[in-house]
Amino acid sequence: MSSELINVSDLNQYAYCPRRYWYLHFYDTQGRNYERIEGKTTHENKSTRGDWVNELYLESEQLGLKGKIDVLDIDDAQPVPVERKRAESGEYYRSDELQLAGYCLLLEEHIDEPVREGAIYLYETDQRMHVPITEDHRETVRQQVNAIQAMSIDSIPSLTDNPKKCEACSTREYCMPEETVMLEPEQAEGTGFEEVISE
Amino acid sequence: MKAAEGMFDESVVFVTKQGTQVRTDGGRIVVWDVDGDDGELASYPTEKLDTINVFGGVNFSTPFVAEANEHGIVLNYFTQNGQYRGSFVPERNTIAEVRRAQYALSEQDELEIAKAMIAGKIRNARTLLSRKGVHGTDVLKDLGVRAENASSKDDLRGTEGEAAERYFDRLDETLTDGWTFEKRTKRPPEDHINSLLSLTYVMVKNEVLSGLRQYNLDPFLGVLHADRHGRPSLALDLQEEFRPLFCDSLVTRLVNRGVITHDDFTADNHLADDPFKTYLSKFDEYMQEEFVHPHFDYSVSRRKAIRQQVILLRKAITDEMDSYHALTFSR
């Protein structure tokens, strides 16, 4: 199990909420993850343009990662992985940065040259933001790959530290975070739900 | 806090018109009048449904069954007057790990879950009686405490039997003039009230069964009801806490409001065809009716509350939660 390669997009899922990732990984039999399905359709509708390589698949035993780079911009001498995101807020998240960092690590191993930046393209605002990949990003990616590989169905991640994330989460209806802490308040300890039950 | 946006409420469809076919048509599920000339009778977005119940002479097209499999839709077959015949269960509705946890429950784990369910049932029986103005139910209160402290399954079954007897002794007092309830009879139900109770238990059992399948538990392996070939023991176990307030209260409402009358029954105590259709639509309405959840403080439909109990049961079985928390109403 531990040698299984992790999908770069799962770094994003895991960073968003380990418990959500745990459900999707071990329990998602309903196949009703709307956001992921919608994201996929949007990607398919984009056509190819010059100087862009679409959907470059890479994998690395060394990194423990595999994944498809949405777009590789080779306009300049330096190739820049571009990750396209929907974000109604017009902002991207730390978890999106980590996903991008994962692609950068895969790419630099593939071309054997350092890749120091990637870009996130936001559909809503038609903006392309450059994201420098730091040593902190690299370290976090490594840690998360290890943590995901070590996951098992019997080790249930605790509830999220940010209950706001639950509002848009597709696993909420069976994760039942608030309901869980109302019935078993001790499960709120050390999570973002401590405040919810003390209200 | 508000309830998570679920798909539970409109997720169950009942098809009772004879000579119809359920088909797919461009991402929607369509009920088509094959024998008659009415064409499309109803259609639903495929994504929203999780259960289709068909009664009697209704069939499914083969492409529809493939679609049901793809989308995790459970199909339940009933006879025209509501007797359960069997189900089509999509292949993805089997998570080995959930089954493994369920099969690995110890006798003690099972007893703990069953105690919560039976104590909940007794609590809810008292609540139903008290809502209807029937007082003097201290015996039930004592039996509730005895259920919580039961030392074995036999002990618990004994307590449950005694509580049921005491409760049914008083149920008559909740009925309007012209209706009486003497004692609970099952095979066959000997009067109209017993017939309505049996029918409603079957309908709610089916709600529970669909929920258990949707959340990958094995409905045939119970925690209290003895395993018997073809008996969905876990569905019967989980149904216990819903019997007084989601079943008996519907029956008393239907007769007390005159929705169902004695004339609606055939000689062998079954509902005639048209009253049966009325019953099904009232049942579905009742399942979609909302109430303020006693533990979570938001409004939910009865159907969703049942699905939530299935999820809570799964959490107790897979150790996501420490114990099973029954749905109880204290008033």
Taking contacts as CB-CB distances below 8 angstroms, the residues of chain B near A154 are 319
Q: In 3D, which of A162, A165, A166 has the Cα closest to residue A179?
A: A166
The beta strand positions in A123-178, using DSSP E, are 127-132
Residue B323: both structure tokens together: 């114990």
Taking contacts as CB-CB distances below 8 angstroms, the residues of chain A near B321 are 180, 183-184, 187
> Each residue of B100-147: pLDDT tens digit?
899 999 999 999 999 999 999 999 999 999 999 888 889 999 999 999
Is residue A2's pLDDT more than 60? Answer: no
Residue B152: both structure tokens together: 């074995």
Instruction: Find, in chain B, the residue whose alpha carbon is nearest to that of A30.
Output: B72
What would you measure as the largest C-alpha separation in chain A, in angstroms? 58
Q: What is the mean pLDDT of chain A?
A: 81
> What confidence score (pLDDT) does residue B200 get?
94
ipTM for the complex? 0.82
**Residues of chain B with pLDDT > 90: what percent?**
49
Q: What is the mean pLDDT of chain B?
A: 88
Pairing of strands B51-55, B74-78: parallel
SS (HEC) of B152-193: CHHHHHHHHHHHHHHHHHHHHHHCCCCCCCCCCCCCCCCCHH
Cα distance between residue B321 and residue B318, in whole Å: 8
Is residue A154's pLDDT more than 90? Answer: no
Cβ separation A176–B4 shorter than 8 A: yes
Q: How confident is the model at residue B94 (pLDDT cuts 50, 70, 90)?
A: low
First to last CA, chain A: 42
Taking contacts as CB-CB distances below 8 angstroms, the residues of chain A near B93 are 29
**Residues of chain A with pLDDT > 70: what percent?**
84
* Least Cα separation, residue B182 to chain A (angstroms): 39
Is residue B300's pLDDT more than 80? Answer: yes
* Least Cα separation, residue A112 to chain B (angstroms): 42
Question: The sheet that has B51-55: what strands, in order across it?
Answer: B12-15, B51-55, B74-78, B84-88
**Residues of chain A with pLDDT > 90: what percent?**
27
> What confidence score (pLDDT) does residue A5 get?
87
Pairing of strands B58-60, B74-78: unpaired
> What confidence score (pLDDT) does residue A49 get?
54
> Do residues B82 and B277 touch, judged by C-beta distance below 8 A?
no
Please identify among residues 41-70 of chain B the ones whose CB lies closer than 8 Å to any CB of chain A.
47
Cα distance between residue A35 and residue A95, in whole Å: 15
Taking contacts as CB-CB distances below 8 angstroms, the residues of chain A near B295 are 179, 182-183
Model pTM score: 0.83
What would you measure as the largest C-alpha separation in chain B, in angstroms? 62
pLDDT greater at residue A39 or residue B275: B275
Compare CB distances from B95 to A29, A183, A186 and report the shortest one's residue. A29
Residue A185: both structure tokens together: 């308040």
Burial group, residue B187, by CB count within 10 angstroms (0-12, 13-18, 19+): exposed
- For residue A147, the number of C-alpha atoms closer than 13 Å in the C-beta half-sphere is 18
> Each residue of A19-65: pLDDT tens digit?
998 888 887 654 444 334 444 444 444 445 556 677 788 889 989 99
> Each residue of B229-262: pLDDT tens digit?
777 899 999 999 999 999 999 999 999 999 999 9
| Helix-strand-coil split of chain A, %, nearest 5 | 45, 20, 35
* Least Cα separation, residue B107 to chain A (angstroms): 21
> Each residue of B138-189: pLDDT tens digit?
999 999 999 999 999 999 999 999 999 999 989 888 888 888 877 777 777 7
Going by C-beta distance under 8 Å and a sequence separation of 6 or more, which residues neighbour residue B308?
A: A176, A179, B300, B327
Within chain B, how many helices (H) and strands (E) appear? 10, 10
Q: How confident is the model at residue B91 (pLDDT cuts 50, 70, 90)?
A: confident
**Residues of chain B with pLDDT > 70: what percent?**
95
Q: What is the mean pLDDT of residues A57-75?
A: 86
